[in-house]
Amino acid sequence: MALVTPHGGKLTPVLVAREERPGLEAKAKGLDVIRITSRETSDCLMIGMGAFSPLTGFMGKADYESVVSTKHLSNGLAWPVPITLSVTKEQAASLTEGKEVALVDDESGKYVGILTVQEKYEYDKIKECKEVFFTDDDDHPGVQKVKAQGDINVGGSLVTFSEMGYASKYPEHYAHPADTRKLFEEKGWNTVCAFQTRNPLHRSHEFLCKVGMEVCDGLLIHPIVGKLKQGDIPAEVRFECYKVLLENYFNLDNVIMKVYPMEMRYAGPSEGILHSIFRQNFGCSHILIGRDHAGVGDYYTAYQAQEIFDQFKPGELLCQPLKVTAAYYSQKCDGMTTEKTGPKLGKEDRIAISGTKLRAMLAEGKQPPLEFGRKEVVDILIEYYKGLKK
C-alpha cells in the first residue's frame, strides 16, 4: 500500500524556494498593489504550499460558477468552496489580462505574492452565500466576509514568496503537504487519520482522536492557526494545550501534530468537504467528522457535515470521513462513550463536553471536572482567562 494520491493527481505548490523570495519581493514592490483580506492572504499561503492542489491561483469565472452551483471545478473535480480574490469596480478597471500585480496583506502590510491577471468577472454574492454557507444571514461570520468583498472577482495564476511568519513562529510544527507525506512515509504509515481542530482538545476530542488511531496507522492532529472569529481561543494558547495533552496522554509513536495557516470560513458541511480535500493533499486517508464539524451557531444540523459526503460519488474524495457521533463522559459507564454506543439514560447521566461550555466555565473562574478536561490543559486555559480579566 501507499499514501493516497493528492487531489487531482499531484501536488501543485507555487511557493518559491527560500533563496528566490527576496528577489521576488523586490519585484513586487515595483508593481501595482492589491491589498487583500486576511482570508485571501491565508488562501495565498494554502495555494502556495500546495494544500489547495490542484489550484495554482485564484479561480476564474468557469471554476467559480461551477463550484458554487455543483461543488465541482469546471473539469469535474470535487471542490466545495470558491477560492477567490475580489476587488472594487474601480480597482478592476486597471486590471488587464496578463498584468502582474503585487498582493499585500491589508492587516500587516506585508507583501505575499504576485498575481498574473487572467480574467475579471462579476458574481452573485447572495447566491454564493446560500450555496456555500446554506444561508445569507448577516450574522453568519462567513457570510459577513463574502458580503464585505469587492464586487469583481479576479482570476489568475499566483506565485507566493511569503509565509507570513508562520514557519518561524511554529518551527517544529508548521508543515507543507510534501513535508507531512515524507513524515508518514518515514514512519511506514499507509493510512492516516486527520483531526481538524480550532479549539483546545477536551476529553471528547481526545476520545475521538484515539478512535482514529485505532482505525488507521497513525493520526495527524492538524490545528488551524489562521484567523478565527472573535471569542475563539488564540492559536498560541491552544498550541500549548495540544502539546501538554499529547505529551501526557498519547502514544507519541503513532501521532504527529502539525499546524496550517488557513482562515476558518465556518461553512459547516461545505468546509467539511474542503477539509477532506486538502487533508488528502497532506497525505491523509481519513478525517474525523463529528458533531457540527466547522459549524457556527445554529446554522447547520448536528450531522449535516457528515451527510454531505454522501452526495459525492465513490472515488471522488480519497480522504474518507470517519463519521463519529458526539462523545461524552457517562457516569453510568464510568468512562467516555458516544451517542451511538452509550446507554440512553438522559442528560443527567452525561458530563456533557463542549468547547462552548468549557469557555463559559473558565470565563467564570470555575474549575471544570476532570471528566470534562485534562487538568494540564485546564490549567493553561485558566491562566489565559485570568489574563483576559486582568
Residues shown for the chain:
390
39 annotated active-site: no
Which of 181, 199, 238, 279 is flagged as catalytic?
199
Q: How many helices (H) and strands (E) does the chain have?
A: 14, 14
Nearest-angstrom CA–CA distance, 216 and 329: 24
In this structure, the dihedral spanned by the alpha carbons of residues 260, 227, 306 and 10, taken in order and rounded to 10 degrees, is -30
In this structure, the dihedral spanned by the alpha carbons of residues 125, 131, 132 and 136, taken in order and rounded to 10 degrees, is 60
Q: Are 212 and 272 in contact (CB under 8 A)?
A: no
Which of 39, 181, 198, 291 is flagged as catalytic?
198
Give the residue carrying C-alpha cell 507543507: 176
Q: Which of 288, 266, 333 is nearest to 132 (CA)?
A: 266
199 annotated active-site: yes
Q: Which of 94, 5, 2, 11 is nearest to 50 (CA)?
A: 11
Nearest-angstrom CA–CA distance, 374 and 120: 51
Q: Which of 261, 244, 189 is nearest to 220 (CA)?
A: 189
Nearest-angstrom CA–CA distance, 175 and 339: 34
Give the residue carrying C-alpha cell 477567490: 84
Q: Are 374 and 207 in contact (CB under 8 A)?
A: no
Nearest-angstrom CA–CA distance, 131 and 311: 14
Q: Which amino acids are annotated catalytic?
A: 198-199
